[in-house]
Structure 1
Amino acid sequence: MCTLFIADLHLSEHEPAITAGFLRFLKEQAIYAKALYILGDFFDFWIGDDDPNPLHQQIAQALMTLKNAGVPCYFIHGNRDFLIGSRFAKESGITLLPQEKVLEIGKNRILILHGDTLCTDDEAYQRYRKKVHNKFIQRLFSLLPLFIRLRIADKMRSRSQHENQYKSDAIMDVNPQAVIDTFKHFNTEWMIHGHTHRPAIHTVNIDDKIHYRGVLGAWHTEGSMFKVTDEKIELIHFPF
């Protein structure tokens, strides 16, 4: 059996084709997997588990159906949905993981993460990330009325899109030294992440030993997943 990894779906009520593609993916591919790992930015934004958005309820039911069929689902927070908490986890049956997790599949030790922590050249983003991951700030945000939280989220997304227009591709990609340092820290041969929306498998030479960095694609016009078995690791794109 295989283990599947996806990221950066950015599910939203404004993108019904992506939602339909994900639900089809669950029924036609994930149902046959050993496990499914979602590596962040599953939703385009998340203002709290108490948001009554019908899309969230639809997705929770679909994930619970997958779990009840015997396929566990694990989740690592992204930069868009880092506020997903225990309530949604319970409703959907997913297991929340820390920001980095090492898996052993066959002979491979694989580090999984969202990927934004590797983009250290984007200093403005890293400062923002540090602020919004502050538990006190998150608690204050959760106490605000839903409509105010939604306005804040919309404003932050608009600001991010505007600022990213003026950032170079290199700044928004991973930092090579950060990648090497992360490989050394976790002592893995493989790393799989999302965030950058640049699907590929990169080789990284560290002390004359080849390591592999797999990058998932965003689900803009097609699906993207890593399929991992005991024998091989594949990056696969597929139509919705």
Structure 2
Amino acid sequence: MTAVPSFGVLTAPEAWRTVDVISDLHLKPEEPATFEAWAHYLRSTSANAVIILGDLFEAWVGDDGAAPGSFEAHCGAVLDDCPAELAFMRGNRDFLVGCDFLARHRVRDLADDPTVLEWGAQRIVLSHGDLLCTADVAYQQFRRQVRSTDWQSAFLARPLAERQAIARQMREHSEARHAANAPADYAQADAALARQWLHAANSRLLIHGHTHQPADHDLGDGLTQVVLSDWHIDARTHRAQMLRLTADGARTRIDL
């Protein structure tokens, strides 16, 4: 049985009435329409807070990559323009986003995955979701390696151009792997583990991304697992969805 991780805690201020949750935007210069949709949404949201559950960026090789004029710096400017409070949890693509970048753009760092959102009487478990995909043994081994302090220190010590080249190679490997396997083969969240998490957190609702398979799953005993949509907009595809939560416990998926 997989061990249940320790939970971080995010306590919502009393003033919060509406919270939006998004994930898996995979922002990159090659998809300007996705970026523009995200920028418009973030600058115009009426929510009190926006929580980003990982993979905001397609890749992140260190905060020094957000140099003036870069795509990453442009993304930071959008974060600055958001009227809502922002919180960010790292995903499997942007796990190297640093505290400095988040602090610079007034984004709350959700360093613990999973984290429990305490909001009035509600206790909501938030996760990127990759930890739940226990059947993907190779990825879980990779995750443990790249989340280690030693690996990250060694990687960040490399020149920026070298890190960017490594990130491109890793994305190409990932895309080839996904093309060779159906999503059901590598990106299914473990329902039994999800139930364990909820019981351990004294919660009835789990929200996560990562799998790119948006759905609401009844886990039994009044427990619910909500999987967020990824974002992808081009000439043939338009996926841009957020989950709106309210202080009275309602939740609504909204296509943007």
TM-score by length of 1: 0.91
Q: Deviation string for 1:94-144 (max 9, x for gaps)?
A: 111111111123432100010000000000110110111011010000010
Report whether the alignment pairs 1:238 with 2:255: yes
Asked if residue 121 in structure 1 is aligned to residue 138 in structure 2, the reply is: no
Gaps (5+ residues) in structure 1?
none
Q: Are 2:233 and 1:226 aligned?
A: no
Mean Cα deviation higher: 132-141 or 155-164: 155-164
Q: What is the CA deviation profile of residues 31-86 of structure 1, one whole-angstrom value per residue up to 9, with x for unaligned ones? A: x21111000000000000001262211221221222xx4x2100000000000001
Alignment of 1:9 onto 2:21? no
CA contact (8 A) 2:244 2:254 kept: no
- 1:181 to 2:196 alignment: yes
Cα distance, 1:193 vs structure 2: 0.5
Structure 1 pair 63–211 and aligned structure 2 pair: CA distance change class (3 A): same
Q: What is the match of residue 148 of structure 1?
A: 162
- Displacement after TM superposition at 1:168 (Å): 4.2
Q: Distance in 1 between matches of 2:205 and 2:164?
A: 37
Corresponding position: 1:199 with 2:211: no
Q: How far off is 1:11 after superposition?
A: 0.4
Are 1:190 and 2:205 matched, yes or no? yes
What is the alpha-carbon distance in structure 1 between the residues aligned to residue 130 and residue 42 of structure 2?
26
Query: Does residue 63 of structure 1 match 2:76?
Result: no
Give me the whole-angstrom Cα distance separating, in 2, the residues matched to 1:22 and 1:233.
23
Equivalent residue number for residue 19 of structure 1: 35
The AA in structure 2 aligned to 1:169 is: P
Question: What amino acid is the match of 1:19?
Answer: F
Give 1:191 deviation, angstroms.
0.6
AA of the residue aligned to 2:26:
H
Q: Between Structure 1 and Structure 2, how many residues are aligned?
A: 231
**AA at the equivalent of 2:229:** G
In structure 1, what is the Cα distance between the partners aligned to 2:57 and 2:201?
Answer: 28
Instruction: Spell out the pairing of 1:9-158 with structure 2 (5 A cutoff).
Output: 9-29=25-45, 32-51=46-65, 52=67, 54-66=70-82, 69=83, 71-97=84-110, 98-158=112-172
SS class of match (2:180): coil
Q: Amino acid of the residue matched to residue 130 of structure 2?
A: D
What is the distance in 1 between the residues matched to 2:178 and 2:136? 10
State whether residues 46 and 82 of structure 1, in contact with CA within 8 Å, keep that contact through their aligned partners in structure 2: yes
* Contact 2:27–2:58 (CA under 8 A) maintained in structure 1: yes
The 3-state SS of whatever aligns with 1:50 is helix
**1:173 match: secondary structure:** coil
| Distance in 1, Cα, partners of 2:179 & 2:60 | 23
Out of 201, 210, 233, the residue aligned to residue 222 of structure 2 is: 210
Structure 2 unmatched runs, 5+: 1-16, 233-237
RMSD of aligned C-alpha atoms? 1.5
Between the two proteins, what is the percent identity of the paired residues?
A: 33
